[in-house]
Every structure is written in C-alpha cells, then in structure tokens.
Amino acid sequence: KERCLETRKIYSGRVVALRIDRVMLPSGRKSIREVVEHRGAVAAIPVKGDKIILIRQYRYPVDEVIYEIPAGTREKDETPDETMARELEEEIGYRAGKLTHLFTFYSTPGFTTEKISIYLAEELEPVERRPEHDENIEVVEVEKERIPEMIKNGEIRDGKTIAALCYYMLGAG
C-alpha cells in the first residue's frame, strides 16, 4: 500500500477539489499522485413500461451532446437517495414510486475519489420538471430493445450510463 508523506490542496471549487500527494511506494521509492476529490454522485435507470428514459445534453468538457441516464452530484447534507429523488424531478420531471439501489462504483479510481451509486427508478409519476439554470436537457424515451445497439454503435458513450444499462440489460437490475 502507498503511504502519503505530504498533501497539498491546490484548488477547491463548487464540484471538485484538486490535491497533490507525495507518496512512498511499497518499493521504497517516492512518487506524486494528483487526486481529484469529489463528494460522489448518483444516477438512475428510469423505467417506464418498455422504455428507458434518457437525457441528451451538451457536455462542455467533451464538447458534445451526449445521451446519459439522469444523474447528479450529491449535495453536502443529502443522502444518496435524497439526491437521486431530486435529480429525477429536476432532469426528467418524474418522481419514482420505487427507487432501488443497484450498485456503487468508482468512476475513475486512478485519479478521483468519485463514487457513483446507481439506482433503478420504477413506478414513475410525472411532476413539474425543475432543471437547474445551467442545464439544457432534452428528455428522450428509448425502447429497451434499442439500448444494446445504441451502446454498440457509439450513440451512448457515457461510462456510467453504459455500466448501468449493461447491468440492467443483463437482468441484474
């Protein structure tokens, strides 16, 4: 296991913080680790009959409009369940009568602490959509049978979305 010798926070923002750690490797050599600290996120597979509700939105870091499942960053004092319920209302305008935690994973453990909890959202009831001021989201209902092809042909390219949908399509959800 690596041992931290020194840590230096170099940035702290609304979504992430960045620190540089000097570490001692098991071999006795020293190295540097750049770590993006993140509070964690949630995402859900909203199922409505034989359809899955996806969103399409522009993502500035990759300069593309992409398909995703509804997701969001946890607020400081929220439980993952509370964050997920809020995000479903904000992004797609539904409340889940049944919200089931499926699994939690590290998004990119080589450089970030971010963990994403994946949920299955069922028994959807329409509510007023409340998108955040900086979100421009298109809600898209997709036939379940189209999902594997959308992943194979690159229409769906977001990692958390692919992981969640593959898990669900394999019958694990």
- What strands lie across the sheet with 16-24, from one edge to the other? 3-12, 16-24, 30-38
Residue 135 annotated as catalytic: yes
- CA geometry: angle 34, 44, 50, nearest 5 deg: 145
Contacts of 61 (CB under 8 A, 6+ apart): none
User: For residues 99 and 91, what is the distance between their CA atoms, to the nearest angstrom?
Assistant: 16
Query: How many Cα atoms are found within 13 Å in the side-chain-facing hemisphere of 153?
Result: 7
Give the phi and the psi of residue 158 in degrees, each rounded to 5. Answer: -80, 130
* Contact (Cβ atoms closer than 8 angstroms) between residue 81 and residue 100: no
In terms of C-beta density within 10 A (0-12 exposed, 13-18 middle, 19 or more buried), how is residue 116 classed? buried
Q: Which of 2, 34, 75, 135 is catalytic?
A: 135
Positions annotated as catalytic residues are 135
